[in-house]
Structure 1
């Protein structure tokens, strides 16, 4: 299936990004501060999706879909299984037990019961027999099988809301995918810390030795900068967002840029403190190259705080990286 045959949709907490046949559109939601309300998905996300699909003239095209990062979750976990006298399917057994363990861990984190979760994918990142790496478990013998697994899942209630939206739009969902599923392939297994700075949440992907090793996140993003502008200058949040984007693109005089930098300084430092706190949980030496992407990554303050300690590589069209990751997920899987 080629890129012209399906629509790529990245649903965030602030906007919908859509790609089809080489074209990209962004549709921001019509109201702010209500993402967690009961009718938000139906009333606001649905309207934005309808507008984006219409703009691209892609009505009724099947879609690859990414959901907001506080809805679609990804976790990396390890599991081992004694297999000396085991006669069943090792991969299936490991995935079954891993799903249970991930569900229990997420319950402790969120309060969502295991039976209320739906797993959309479990991908082996590493497989070993008695400490030696193998391409797959079938056909190998030993005492212990070990695996590192990427799990993608969500609450069934949230998934059903989005499925209802797409059913009403008449759009078939080809697959719901997480950016982590194709990150290493898109970036040619380059080592680094990849930062998806979204509207309300920043996701951290640590790639080392060409492999995805850890995923972290924390609840800060571009909207925190918009709020700082809104509160300081007495602007509506939508007007503050537009002003923030002009600033990110360098479309301001020096005096205005200086004022914006002063407003954003404390928010940027708080964002960086949260980032460092999360990265402190990584076991081992971190890669020194950082790759920020996502709309809010274009803020100069993000680059400034990162460059104080790390080597930074600016990606082309960082606001479109997630669409590229989604498109590649269809090719890979």
Structure 2
């Protein structure tokens, strides 16, 4: 009976493993089983009730993480092995887990109302067509066979009938159907390696997730037309939101590590010491003279980062709001994201810019202790972990 009780407690735990290009973040949540009926409520915001407790949060840095992403993932599981009977939510770096927005259209012969049977047939055909076309595209890009592509998620994000946005095609009339589809995929060999690691750790209850799918779980003022910048170590992921839905996913191969590399080169120090110095600078721990010296070193790196951003986000698609988060975002808050008129690169300084942390996500959460809460709630690098957890709860609630 004791062991049954212990196993039940472990199954209430949710481990979030977020493997980036420079660090792995882990967060351990505990769900309150007394509120299990919460998941049966149909209200979209029911998951915001206080039924979650954050037990631990940790960030560990690794060099050349892109070459050993799955080894780092396995390591993160190993140090939390006593909690693996619960649910495990997994986000892997771009070199393994990818996402893409695609558009597909269909012209019906008649404009009459779409019945249930026809709706099911149309959706099935559209998704199969998208899967086939994207498989061939990925196969050409990576030099593999189409069947070597594994789809983690393939879902319709937006539907328009004759130009009008609709929640579903069922019971609507129209001739021209347009679909916006979100595909999350990886190479089948990589998926096999992930499954092997999970099987070796006896993990059955898991979910592979991409952060682009998670933003529907939170509401931020202005997010309905915005660009979300997740600044990581080696790259920056950009999610364009339009009409409250994901419109495009972009990526630029420059992140916060460009500033660490600049310090390492100019000061002749190793990369680990350069990263620590960069973090101390971002947190305002250095003397005024040292801060000034580092600011001067960062000038060219800052311009290069902005130039890359301008190349990725064209002026045509520049949204009115930019939300910035991720491990590298604290530095940008310190060096001032907006550029002065003399340094302005193109059009990037135009939108309203806001740095977000878990505190801004308006989540109802209890922390194990005050120290943990202070370390996490204002830390932008844990935004992705919170998104993953609450999106998982949100989608479970919608299943009922």
Q: TM-score if structure 1 supplies the norm length?
A: 0.87
CA deviation after TM superposition for structure 1 residue 59, in Å: 4.2
- Does 1:289 pair with 2:317? no
Residues 1:135 and 2:167 aligned together? yes
Q: CA deviation at 1:205?
A: 0.8
Higher RCO, 1 vs 2 (CA within 8 Å, ≥6 residues apart): 2
Q: Per-residue displacement from partner, 1:156-194 (whole Å, max 9, x unpaired)?
A: 122222232333334345210111112143234532111
How many Å apart are 1:106 and its aligned residue?
A: 3.3
Q: Does 1:91 align with 2:123?
A: yes
Alignment match, 1:20: 28
Root-mean-square deviation (Å): 2.7
CA distance in 1, matches of 2:152, 2:26: 21
CA contact 1:80–1:147 (8 Å) conserved in 2: yes
Is the aligned partner of 1:63 residue 2:88?
yes
Alignment of 1:172-187 (within 5 A): 172-187=204-219
Q: Is the 8 A contact 1:272 1:306 kept in 2?
A: no
- Note the residue ranges of structure 1 that are not aligned, 5 or more in a row: none
Q: Which residue of 2 aligns with 1:326?
A: 388
Runs of 4 or more off by more than 6 Å in structure 1? none
Change (3 A) 1:44 1:11: closer
Give the corresponding residue for 2:74: 46
Q: Structure 1 residues 112 and 220, CA, compared in 2 at 3 Å: closer, same or farther? A: farther
Q: Which residue in 2 is equivalent to 1:315?
A: 356
Q: Point out the structure with max Rg over C-alpha.
A: 2
Separation in 1, partners of 2:161, 2:77: 46
Q: Deviations over 1:111-135 (max 9, x none)?
A: 4443221111122121123333332
Partner of 2:243: 209
Report Cα offsets for 1:206-260 as digits up to 9, x if no partner.
Answer: 1122222111001111222222222222222122212211212111111111122
Partner residue in 2 for 1:104: 136
The DSSP-based 3-state class of the residue aligned with 2:83 is coil
Over residues 48-73 of structure 1, what are the superposed CA-to-partner deviations in whole Å (9 max), with x where a residue is unaligned?
Answer: 4423x26xx63443201111123211
Q: Secondary structure at the match of 1:164?
A: helix
CA contact (8 A) 1:177 1:329 kept: no
Indicate yes or no: 2:18 matched with 1:10: yes
**Farther-moved stretch of structure 1 (185-194 vs 104-113):** 104-113
| Matching residue of 2:343 | none
Correspondences of 1:222-261 after superposition (within 5 Å): 222-261=256-295
**Structure 1 residue 285 displacement after superposition:** 4.4
Contact 1:16 1:49 in 2 (8 A): no
C-alpha spacing 1:118/1:273, structure 2 compared with 1 (3 Å): same
CA distance in 2, matches of 1:94, 1:155: 22
C-alpha contact 1:268 1:302 (8 A) present in aligned 2: no
Report how far residue 109 of structure 1 moved. 4.3
- What is the match of residue 363 of structure 2? none
Question: Take 1:328 and 1:81, find their aligned partners in 2: how far apart are those partners?
Answer: 34
3-state SS of 2:323 partner: strand
Superposed CA deviations along residues 251-271 of structure 1, whole A, max 9, x for unmatched, are 111111112222222122111
